[in-house]
Amino acid sequence: MGRLHDLYNDHGQSPWLDNLRRGWMASGELQTWIDRGVRGLTSNPSIFAKAMTETDDYDTDIERLAGEGMPIEDVYWRLVSADIAQALELLAPIHHESSGEDGYVSVEVDPGLAHDETGTVEAARVLDDELSAPNLYIKVPATAEGVPAIATLVGEKRSINVTLIFSLNRYQAVMEAYLSGLEAADGPLGDISSVASFFISRVDVEVDRRLDEIGTEHALGLRGKAAVAQGQIAYQQFLETFSGPRWNALSERGARLQRPLWASTSTKDPSYPDTLYVDSLIGPNTVNTLPDNTLLAFDDHGTLARTVDADPDWARGIVADLGELGIDLEDVAVKLETEGVSSFSKSFDEALASLDEQAKS
């Protein structure tokens, strides 16, 4: 069946595709990925900006909608919604067969709202109501303002993919928001689903830069280890949070686990194995969303073994060693969150500018 199927069937991890292009749905390529074992799909403003600017798949619709006088930002959301709706339909069978565990498609609210709690809630409601599919995830960033928005939306029985998590403290706050939202929701909870997207490779990019500045043999020996260690500790937090009396009371109402989702899992350093951030974070009740090149690499030569909780002491030791060297992972997370929000906002603005230029040409 292939490694992607084995990853789920033997190890309980769902491989998702972190990419979407309109041409893939028309050509059948997305269905081919699903047949190979992909069980969900994530998107973000950068993905849509690239698809809209690097292909001509959207040109006819852009010209038509802009020609009808539709504002450019509305044109963007119309195009995004059309793509998401097609993907939702293609993944609906997996959602049905898995009893709502997988088959999700994620779409992100306007990244310019990342520090606007009220605006995020309102934008999420609009997207969720417009697309109105049981296998839809609305992506909400795990900023300080996004966390309470998550609790509100979950309390309204909306399914949320919490994105841009970089720190263990913020991850704990995200899980608390999910639990609080579940507790505030009325009636049975089985229709609510959520994943918490913990970003991986970007952590190593920043930590490795700081280790290189220190330059000692011990520091250089820690390169490429911080991201996996932090992810493995996050998994321990997940196990602890979703157990005990509080969780049991919610589970009795049909509540679903908020699964950890490993995001940003393509390696940025070419000296690292191209499947490093898949091989090292495999375990039950998790998701790994992968760009197509990393999916291909893992399906070809990835290592299948339960690794995410194989050696918690190793993970804690790495974090302790980094602390002794003066590397504060919370400080790293603040920098990466700022950069992540900025990057998605820039992609969103660039997409709008490109659409506006196309409409005027």
Dihedral sign of CA atoms 126, 132, 133, 134 in order: positive
Dihedral sign of CA atoms 85, 87, 89, 93 in order: negative
d(CA 185, CA 114): 24
pLDDT at 360 over 90: no
Confirm whether 210 is domain-assigned: no
Q: How many residues are given for the chain?
A: 361
Question: Which pLDDT band, with edges at 50, 70 and 90, does 227 fall under?
Answer: very high
Count of the separate structural domains present in the chain: 1
What is the 8-class DSSP label of residue 112?
Answer: G
Q: How far is CA 6 from CA 1, 52, 114, 287, 306, in A?
A: 7, 34, 37, 14, 12
Clarify whether 139 is annotated catalytic: yes
Angle CA 49–150–50, to nearest 5: 5
pLDDT at 325 over 90: yes
Confirm whether 62 is domain-assigned: yes
Element counts in the chain: helices (H) and strands (E): 17, 7
Do residues 230 and 194 touch, judged by C-beta distance below 8 A? no
For residues 335-346, average pLDDT: 94
**Residue 348: predicted pLDDT:** 86
How many Cβ atoms sit within 10 Å of the Cβ of residue 19? 21
Confirm whether 218 is domain-assigned: no
pLDDT at 1 over 80: no
**Residue 45: predicted pLDDT:** 87
Lowest mean pLDDT among 43-47, 144-148, 177-181: 43-47
The better pLDDT of the pair 222, 352 is held by 222
Q: How many CA atoms lie within 13 A of 303 on its CB side?
A: 12
Confirm whether 208 is domain-assigned: no
pLDDT at 361 over 80: no
**Residue 50: predicted pLDDT:** 87
pLDDT at 350 over 90: no
pLDDT at 202 over 90: yes
Confirm whether 211 is domain-assigned: no
**Residue 5: predicted pLDDT:** 98
Task: Give me the CATH number covering residue 231.
Answer: 3.20.20.70
Q: What is the DSSP string of 277-345?
A: HHHTT--TTEEEEE-HHHHHHHHHH---S--TTS-HHHHHHHHHHHHHTT--HHHHHHHHHHHHHHHHH
Question: Which pLDDT band, with edges at 50, 70 and 90, does 256 fall under?
Answer: very high
Do residues 318 and 329 touch, judged by C-beta distance below 8 A? no
Query: pLDDT tens digit string along 285-306?
Result: 999 999 999 999 999 999 999 9
Query: pLDDT tens digit string along 19-52?
Result: 999 999 999 999 999 999 999 999 998 898 888 8
d(CA 307, CA 336): 25
Do residues 179 and 209 touch, judged by C-beta distance below 8 A? no
Question: Which pLDDT band, with edges at 50, 70 and 90, does 273 fall under?
Answer: very high
Which of 41, 44, 56 lies closest to 87, judged by CA? 41
* Catalytic annotation, pick one of 50, 139, 157, 268: 139
Q: Give the structural domain span for 68.
A: 3-202+226-308+340-360
pLDDT at 164 over 90: yes
Confirm whether 216 is domain-assigned: no
Q: What are phi and psi of 14, to 5 degrees?
A: -95, 120
Q: For the stretch 260-298, what's the b/e string if a residue is b when 16 or more beta carbons lie within 10 angstroms of its beta carbon? A: bbbbbbbbeeeeeebbbbbbbbbbebbbbbbbbebbebb
Q: Percent of the chain, pLDDT > 90?
A: 89
Dihedral angle, C-alpha 149, 155, 156, 158, nearest 10 °: 70
pLDDT at 359 over 80: no
**Residue 358: predicted pLDDT:** 81
Query: pLDDT tens digit string along 98-140?
Result: 999 999 999 999 999 999 999 999 999 999 999 999 999 999 9
Query: pLDDT tens digit string along 50-95?
Result: 888 888 899 899 889 988 999 989 999 999 999 999 999 999 999 9
Confirm whether 101 is domain-assigned: yes
Which of 109, 78, 83 lies closest to 30, judged by CA? 83
For residues 129-152, average pLDDT: 98
* Residues whose CB falls within 8 Å of the CB of residue 352, separated by 6 or more in sequence, listed in order: 72, 73, 76
Do residues 104 and 159 touch, judged by C-beta distance below 8 A? yes
How many Cβ atoms sit within 10 Å of the Cβ of residue 58? 24
Confirm whether 329 is domain-assigned: no
Q: Percent of the chain, pLDDT > 70?
A: 100
